[in-house]
A and B are shown apart, each in its own frame.
Chain A
Amino acid sequence: MKVTRFTWFNATSLTLGFAFLYLPILLLVIFSFNESKLVTVWGGFSTKWYQQLWENSVYLDAALVTLKIAVVSSTMAAILGTVSALVLHRAGRFRGRTLFSGMIYAPLVMPEVITGLSLLLLFVAAGVAKGFWTISLAHITFSMCYVTVVVSSRLVTFDRSLEEAALDLGCTPFTAFLQVTLPVIAPSVISGWLLAFTLSMDDLVIASFTTGPGGTTLPIQLYSAIRRGVSPEINAISSILVGVVTIAVVIAAISSHQAERRRARNEHLANS
């Protein structure tokens, strides 16, 4: 009996499901080209909101700050997160390992309001000036844990005998890591970096707590605009962000798909 056929029920749930996921974003993008100031009534095609955005330096400045924070924090998070993954899977037993793995997984499920508040109170107690660096430190801390999860999932499936062979052949643990482990886990480190980057670009709550002079990020700017009400200008900036992310994700997906095919072909050649 054939039970794998694709039924009408399945087709309907996929269609409805993806409509639900994408229609809101689609409407948002379409109405960013609306001539009318009323966001929900179509008044003809226009790109004037994009021009206005270009002339409004507030958003450009905020975008620049957000980008800088995202680059700094995701790079640091990728390094610390990868080291943490190695500690979890390669360091063997050590004192306080349970606490360590707890501290890695807890930030993933911690409500942002708590993380934000606790970091702010730390920065106030330490007497540091809030702004660019406090947001970056906060972002490193929560996004490194996501990197750890991504890299861990690769390390678990990794054939350890390769590392052991390198060690037996006289490599130090560090060179064995550089020559054997790193090339294998590199794609997962890159996806971890990308994830940390988007998390940092996206964060409103933690940034709002830890922000200060010179630390107005795009989400903070957008949030204060949204509080004042819907506007085509917000639609325009949202559409740009959605466009950038979509292009980046599609490129990443295609290149990883090609890398996968290349690898499969090479393996096939090697086996034949």
Chain B
Amino acid sequence: MGKKFSLGRLAFIGTPYFWLLIFFLFPFFIVFKISLSDLAVAQPPYVPNFDFSEGWNGLLLFFSQLDIENYTFLFEDSLYYKSYLSSLQIALLSTLLTLLIGFPIAYAMSKAPKRFQALLLMLIILPFWTSFLIRVYAWIGILKPEGFLNQALLWLGIIDKPLIILNTNIAVYIGIVYSYLPFMVLPLYASLERIDMSLIEAARDLGCSALKAFWVVTLPLAVPGIIAGCFLVFIPAIGEFVIPDVLGGSETLMIGKTLWTEFFNNRDWPVASAVAVILLLLLLIPILWFQKFQEKQMEAGT
């Protein structure tokens, strides 16, 4: 296509570009601005608001009223940094659990007869199309004190009084592993499926045990899939709201839930915005890292 400047080309590039500028990028500046504002009993519930009618003085007044009070508040109140730390911890541990559960599944899928692989792949993707909320809700009936899991364990005689799992962090781990398992299995399968079987055969012929061959050939070749899968679980898990809210309890501190409470229950928009800004800064590191990793993969692929 022509590289010369034309109105058609401008509209072609400009339409999606401006859409994202207005609805994606610009809102972050508003979030940042409101994070520097003060809570007020008004509609919208924050001050200052920019007043065009006062011109230059209005602009000066507007900037003079902005301060970082909300950020210092986030560091003074232990609720917030505990939420950030606990989100990180929950996301890290559940990513690891998802990897441990997802790897054998992806490995077995890649080893299954070729004619079944498309079906297995569809079965992994299918839950992803069903409502997230419903899949999380399904676990309430399983995990609650009189739920299916406790009924089964009591019946088998493994326990003699119901386990308390629902509304604890364990339920949150189960929920995250369950909901994000397809995100882990798919990239793992993609990288495992590509592995050239003759490499493993060569390792075996050269005297490697099956385990050793797995360790020195399969696993290193699966690393791109492992990294991609871990990012795809870890990044969204940090900001997760639905799972800690529906399955977690009062002990569950996650930043997505804290932000939600701050916004909907306390109606403190400035503090909620400050929470969002810090969360975004925290996520920027893994997101940029992941993007760089993917670019490298793309280059290696072509």
Contacts and interface: CB of A to CB of B under 8 A. Distances in A.
Q: Is the interface of A mostly helix, strand, loop or mixed?
A: helix
A17 B107 CA distance: 11
Contact of A226 (B3, B21, B133, B185): B133
A190 interface: no
Contacts of B248: none
Interface stretch (B51-59, B63-71, B76-84, B235-243): B235-243
B131 to A, nearest CB: 5
Contact of A112 (B30, B124, B141, B241): B241
B155 interface: no
Contacts of A121: 27, 30-31, 34, 269, 273
A184 interface: no
B20 interface: yes
A40 B133 contact: no
Contacts of A31: 141
A202 B13 contact: no
A45 B200 CA distance: 53
Nearest to B150: A40
B30 A204 contact: no
B205 interface: yes
B1 A167 contact: yes
Contacts of B131: 201-202, 219, 222, 238, 241-242, 245
Nearest to B256: A113
A24 B142 contact: yes
Which of B19, B21, B44 is packed against the most chain A CB atoms within 10 Å?
B19
Nearest to B123: A18
Interface residues of B, number: 91
A124 interface: yes
A92 B13 CA distance: 11
A249 interface: yes
Contacts of B279: 111, 113-114
B39 to A, nearest CB: 14
Interface stretch (A47-55, A57-65, A98-106): A98-106
A261 B3 CA distance: 39
B273 A174 contact: no
Contacts of A111: 236, 238-240, 256, 279, 283
Contact of B287 (A20, A106, A122, A167): A106
A244 B246 CA distance: 24
A169 interface: no
A142 B181 CA distance: 22
A205 B242 contact: yes
A90 B129 CA distance: 30
Contacts of B238: 111
B122 A223 contact: no
A170 interface: no
A102 B284 CA distance: 12
Given A201-B131, A242-B130, A113 B30 contact: no
Interface in A204-226: 204-205, 208-209, 219, 222-223, 226
Nearest to B30: A121
A106 B142 CA distance: 35
A86 B12 contact: yes
A252 B200 CA distance: 36
A230 B140 CA distance: 7
Interface in B1-57: 1-3, 8-9, 12-13, 15-17, 19-21, 23-28, 30-31, 34, 44
B17 A113 contact: no
Given A1-B205, A113-B260, A121-B30, A21 B1 contact: no
B137 A198 contact: no
Q: A interface, how many residues as a size bin?
A: 35 or more
Interface in B260-285: 260, 263-264, 269, 272-273, 276, 279-280, 283
B23 A24 contact: no
Interface string A68-104: 0000000000001101101100111110100010111
B20 A90 contact: no
A139 B280 CA distance: 20
A222 B138 CA distance: 13
A253 to B, nearest CB: 5
B19 A202 contact: no
Given A114-B279, A121-B273, A238-B137, A103 B20 contact: yes
A94 B13 contact: yes
Contacts of B276: 113-114, 117-118
Interface in A249-270: 249, 253, 257
Given A4-B197, A144-B16, A205-B241, A14 B108 contact: yes
A91 B13 CA distance: 8
A187 interface: no
Given A1-B201, A109-B290, A113-B260, A241 B134 contact: yes
Which of A17, A18, A110, A234 is packed against the most chain B CB atoms within 10 Å?
A17
B113 interface: yes
14 contacts: A21-B178, A25-B130, A81-B16, A100-B16, A109-B290, A112-B241, A113-B256, A113-B276, A122-B23, A124-B44, A140-B19, A144-B19, A174-B8, A226-B246
Q: Which 7 residue pairs across A and B have the least CB separation, nearest first?
A: A111-B239, A118-B27, A13-B104, A10-B108, A17-B105, A24-B138, A103-B20
